[in-house]
Amino acid sequence: MIFFKQIFTWWHKSTVGTLVYTLFTGKFVGKDQFGNKYYSNSKGKRWVIYKSNIEATKIPPDWHSWIHFTTINKPTDSSKKFNWQKDHQENLTGTKKAHRPEGSLLSNIKKNVKKYETWKF
Protein backbone atom coordinates (compact mmCIF):
# COMPACT_ATOMS: atom_id res chain seq x y z
CA MET A 1 0.00 0.00 0.00
CA ILE A 2 2.82 2.43 0.86
CA PHE A 3 4.43 1.64 -2.50
CA PHE A 4 1.27 2.67 -4.40
CA LYS A 5 0.85 5.81 -2.30
CA GLN A 6 4.40 6.84 -3.13
CA ILE A 7 3.91 6.25 -6.86
CA PHE A 8 0.53 7.92 -7.33
CA THR A 9 0.36 10.65 -4.67
CA TRP A 10 2.61 13.50 -3.62
CA TRP A 11 1.21 14.15 -0.13
CA HIS A 12 2.58 10.89 1.34
CA LYS A 13 6.33 11.46 1.77
CA SER A 14 7.82 12.04 -1.69
CA THR A 15 7.18 10.88 -5.22
CA VAL A 16 9.33 8.43 -7.16
CA GLY A 17 10.58 11.30 -9.33
CA THR A 18 11.80 13.22 -6.29
CA LEU A 19 13.57 10.14 -4.94
CA VAL A 20 15.31 9.50 -8.28
CA TYR A 21 16.31 13.17 -8.58
CA THR A 22 17.64 13.09 -5.01
CA LEU A 23 19.55 9.88 -5.68
CA PHE A 24 21.35 11.22 -8.76
CA THR A 25 21.82 14.94 -8.03
CA GLY A 26 21.17 15.45 -4.33
CA LYS A 27 23.84 16.05 -1.72
CA PHE A 28 22.67 15.36 1.83
CA VAL A 29 23.00 18.53 3.92
CA GLY A 30 21.39 17.66 7.22
CA LYS A 31 18.49 16.37 9.26
CA ASP A 32 16.26 18.25 11.71
CA GLN A 33 14.85 17.11 15.05
CA PHE A 34 11.66 15.83 13.36
CA GLY A 35 13.51 13.50 10.95
CA ASN A 36 13.10 15.65 7.82
CA LYS A 37 16.12 15.39 5.50
CA TYR A 38 17.51 18.38 3.59
CA TYR A 39 19.34 18.22 0.26
CA SER A 40 21.00 20.55 -2.22
CA ASN A 41 22.63 20.13 -5.61
CA SER A 42 25.54 21.73 -7.48
CA LYS A 43 23.24 24.27 -9.17
CA GLY A 44 22.12 25.66 -5.80
CA LYS A 45 18.66 24.09 -5.61
CA ARG A 46 17.54 23.09 -2.09
CA TRP A 47 14.74 20.75 -1.07
CA VAL A 48 13.40 18.68 1.79
CA ILE A 49 12.26 15.06 2.05
CA TYR A 50 9.68 14.89 4.85
CA LYS A 51 9.71 12.01 7.31
CA SER A 52 5.93 11.61 7.23
CA ASN A 53 3.11 13.47 5.49
CA ILE A 54 4.11 16.57 3.57
CA GLU A 55 3.30 19.69 5.57
CA ALA A 56 5.36 22.85 5.09
CA THR A 57 4.87 23.97 8.69
CA LYS A 58 6.85 20.94 9.88
CA ILE A 59 10.08 22.73 8.90
CA PRO A 60 11.71 24.42 11.94
CA PRO A 61 12.60 28.14 11.62
CA ASP A 62 16.36 27.65 11.27
CA TRP A 63 15.93 25.17 8.40
CA HIS A 64 13.18 27.34 6.90
CA SER A 65 15.61 30.22 6.57
CA TRP A 66 18.20 27.92 4.97
CA ILE A 67 15.80 26.36 2.43
CA HIS A 68 14.54 29.84 1.39
CA PHE A 69 18.10 31.20 0.94
CA THR A 70 17.84 33.65 3.85
CA THR A 71 21.03 32.14 5.27
CA ILE A 72 23.90 30.57 3.36
CA ASN A 73 25.18 28.18 6.01
CA LYS A 74 23.17 25.22 7.17
CA PRO A 75 21.79 25.33 10.73
CA THR A 76 23.81 23.73 13.47
CA ASP A 77 22.65 21.96 16.61
CA SER A 78 24.83 24.28 18.67
CA SER A 79 22.92 27.40 17.61
CA LYS A 80 22.12 29.63 20.57
CA LYS A 81 18.65 29.06 22.01
CA PHE A 82 17.20 31.40 24.61
CA ASN A 83 15.23 30.12 27.60
CA TRP A 84 12.13 32.02 26.41
CA GLN A 85 12.10 30.26 23.03
CA LYS A 86 9.59 27.46 22.61
CA ASP A 87 10.15 24.30 20.60
CA HIS A 88 8.84 24.41 17.05
CA GLN A 89 5.38 22.99 16.50
CA GLU A 90 3.62 22.42 13.21
CA ASN A 91 0.34 24.17 12.35
CA LEU A 92 -2.36 22.47 14.41
CA THR A 93 -5.38 24.03 12.67
CA GLY A 94 -8.08 21.42 12.14
CA THR A 95 -6.77 19.08 14.83
CA LYS A 96 -7.84 18.49 18.43
CA LYS A 97 -4.84 20.53 19.61
CA ALA A 98 -5.89 23.64 17.65
CA HIS A 99 -6.12 26.97 19.48
CA ARG A 100 -9.69 27.67 20.55
CA PRO A 101 -9.95 30.99 22.38
CA GLU A 102 -12.62 31.76 24.94
CA GLY A 103 -15.88 32.49 23.18
CA SER A 104 -15.09 30.37 20.14
CA LEU A 105 -17.88 28.12 18.92
CA LEU A 106 -15.61 25.09 19.35
CA SER A 107 -14.29 26.09 22.77
CA ASN A 108 -15.40 24.28 25.91
CA ILE A 109 -15.47 27.60 27.78
CA LYS A 110 -18.46 29.70 26.76
CA LYS A 111 -18.25 33.44 27.03
CA ASN A 112 -21.36 35.47 27.88
CA VAL A 113 -21.47 37.94 25.03
CA LYS A 114 -24.38 40.25 24.27
CA LYS A 115 -25.27 40.53 20.62
CA TYR A 116 -25.81 44.28 20.95
CA GLU A 117 -25.72 47.03 23.50
CA THR A 118 -28.62 49.45 23.96
CA TRP A 119 -28.12 53.19 23.83
CA LYS A 120 -28.63 55.15 26.98
CA PHE A 121 -29.82 58.76 26.78
Q: Is the residue at 92 inside a domain?
A: no
Which residues of the chain carry a pLDDT beneath 70?
Answer: 1-3, 5-12, 78-79, 110-114
Q: Is the residue at 82 inside a domain?
A: no
Rounded (5°) CA angle 19-25-26: 70
| Dist. CA 2–CA 4, nearest whole Å | 5
Q: What's the pLDDT at 45?
A: 94
pTM for the model: 0.72
Q: What's the pLDDT at 66?
A: 94
Q: What's the pLDDT at 78?
A: 66
Domain that holds residue 33: 2-67
Q: What's the pLDDT at 105?
A: 75
Task: Confirm if 23 and 14 have CB atoms less than 8 A apart.
Answer: no
Q: Is the residue at 22 inside a domain?
A: yes
The number of folded domains in the chain is: 1
Q: What's the pLDDT at 6?
A: 64
Q: Is the residue at 13 inside a domain?
A: yes
